[in-house]
Structure 1
């Protein structure tokens, strides 16, 4: 590239201003900084197709945009064609009517570095671009690390909550799980809509004899088997809990059909009866169920609903056991 009279020769400009662009009035290139030449290696062939005006409402022709910004003493914005990169800067008229521009990357710095594989050597020593990029990358790294930490913390919290609400023997929910789920079920929606459900309280008939005659290991095995029966019989949206000893509670959202509840009860009774240990042929294990369909009068709080289900359970026991009572 030929040198033209200016404050300094083009070779000095290239060293001092690695992002400069020196143009004749007709747009012919006189000199380009080494970094700009690295980003746009074909500037000798002209600006059209490589740069365009990027300010809204102004001509896209690059030389028209440059003249308008320089003569109007405005900031200059030039888009690098084929990319999202926008160069910004300012310019002045110099000898012979030529235009000297000093450009920069602004917030698009990281795009330019990736696009042209720029390094610290491509910036003037006084340019804080690399320091700013380092801070940006460091900040992104910190934010990513915080995000990862928060995700791990949330996962740990969820695991701890699940563990705190799980019965270790059967893998069902425990009393704490029942309390939280039942409390949520009793709350009406924001529109005041009542969401009905059925609550099933059941325990095992003759469970004490299993423990006394066969030992606690046999009793624990039976409870685990009952837990599997309940998981197999309920829907995904339902909740099965063991609230202590041989007592279990099912919460069945939307289940208000008495015939459907009777069918479910019969399946549970039959499946649990089949769990009777062969060592106790004359003492079958069975289950009694007490069921409350909510909403029901006199039951607005979890304890009140549980009390009604408990009353229904004992009605089943008084009636001969191995049956369900729905109230």
Structure 2
């Protein structure tokens, strides 16, 4: 060919991403859209563009010439933004000049953001903005899906928490206790994990039935809520406090193996619960009986066995006068 016969204005309109190079690499014409990415070509072609790994060549001009002569796709990087790749093809005129028509490929979104391009910067036949719209729509959908998944995960956590929580006291329920106790005993079966000792406390309120009988179930519920508050205030964050039914409570005290410390803690809890006894209760006062078992590595890994031992200690306290603690 003898070179483009169109004027610069028509060429810019049809090919806003064109680059017309002389034989020596001098820029004869550049499309207005490409000019926004390469605003100053006076420094020379090699100062603004470089070949990619996919486009071999000792310099950018030779890489362009090789791709044009072999009729292969051309890939070029911007020296100021090497993560942005231009792709396209070109033809060589009879005078040795080269006309390139470039585009963005998958880097379209990044290029538009980098140069602030709009629909007016693309030829009417280009689908660039339509593709960008699809990209944004897809991102919007993915964002909504991600938010939905986050909400679903949060709802699941709330549901799991509610399924393990006693609604009256806010403590764990029986299911929550079973999970916590299972986790405390799980390390027995894991050779790489050293089992951690703990104390299991079974607590039962003395004369609670008389509160319901004399003062009504509302008074009984109020008392149970208050007992839940006492237990929360006496256990640590790593411990577990649960109401397993009626007026029965269980504590898991991680790392607690000192009998004197357990005795002191139990007496404080008993005293705090005694102080909750309704003054309207005739002839009786509410107290608490407690049974404690200390579990250490080598003990039974069955939750039922550990609970049964604590239950036995509890009934020893009840049998010896109530309002006291027995530690096995």
TM-score bin, normalised by smaller chain? 0.7 to 0.9
Q: Does 1:160 align with 2:155?
A: no
Q: Give the whole-Å Cα distance in 1 for the aligned partners of 2:284 and 2:15.
A: 97
Task: Look up the match of 1:186.
Answer: 185
Q: Give the whole-Å Cα distance in 2 for the aligned partners of 1:162 and 1:104.
A: 54
Q: Give the whole-Å Cα distance in 2 for the aligned partners of 1:198 and 1:135.
A: 60
Task: Look up the match of 2:279.
Answer: 278
Task: Look up the match of 1:255.
Answer: 256
Task: Look up the match of 1:209.
Answer: 210
**Please, which of 7, 20, 37 is the counterpart of residue 22 of structure 1?**
20
TM alignment of 1:136-151, pairs within 5 A = 136-151=135-150
Q: Which moved more, 1:39-48 or 1:136-145?
A: 39-48
Q: Give the whole-Å Cα distance in 1 for the aligned partners of 2:125 and 2:107.
A: 19
Q: Give the whole-Å Cα distance in 2 for the aligned partners of 1:191 and 1:54.
A: 53
Q: Does 1:315 align with 2:316?
A: yes
Report the 3-state secondary structure (helix = DSSP H, G, I; strand = E; otherwise coil) of the residue aligned with 2:159: helix
1:261 CA displacement: 1.8
Q: Give the whole-Å Cα distance in 2 for the aligned partners of 1:299 and 1:320.
A: 29
Where in structure 2 are there 5+ consecutive unaligned residues? none
| Residue pair 2:74, 2:88 contacting (<8 A) in 1 also | yes
1:238-287 Cα shifts (integer Å, max 9, x gaps): 11111111110112233223232222212211221222223348633221
1:130 CA displacement: 2.7
1:304 CA displacement: 2.3
Report the 3-state secondary structure (helix = DSSP H, G, I; strand = E; otherwise coil) of the residue aligned with 1:166: coil
Q: CA RMSD in A?
A: 2.6
Task: Look up the match of 2:41.
Answer: 43
Task: Look up the match of 2:61.
Answer: 63
Report the 3-state secondary structure (helix = DSSP H, G, I; strand = E; otherwise coil) of the residue aligned with 2:45: coil
Q: Give the whole-Å Cα distance in 1 for the aligned partners of 2:228 and 2:43.
A: 79
Task: Look up the match of 1:85.
Answer: 84
Q: TM-score, normalised by structure 2?
A: 0.88
1:66-104 Cα shifts (integer Å, max 9, x gaps): 345445655433222333322122333213211211211
Q: TM-score, normalised by structure 1?
A: 0.88
Q: Which moved more, 1:191-200 or 1:217-226?
A: 191-200
Report the 3-state secondary structure (helix = DSSP H, G, I; strand = E; otherwise coil) of the residue aligned with 1:97: coil
Task: Look up the match of 2:224.
Answer: 223
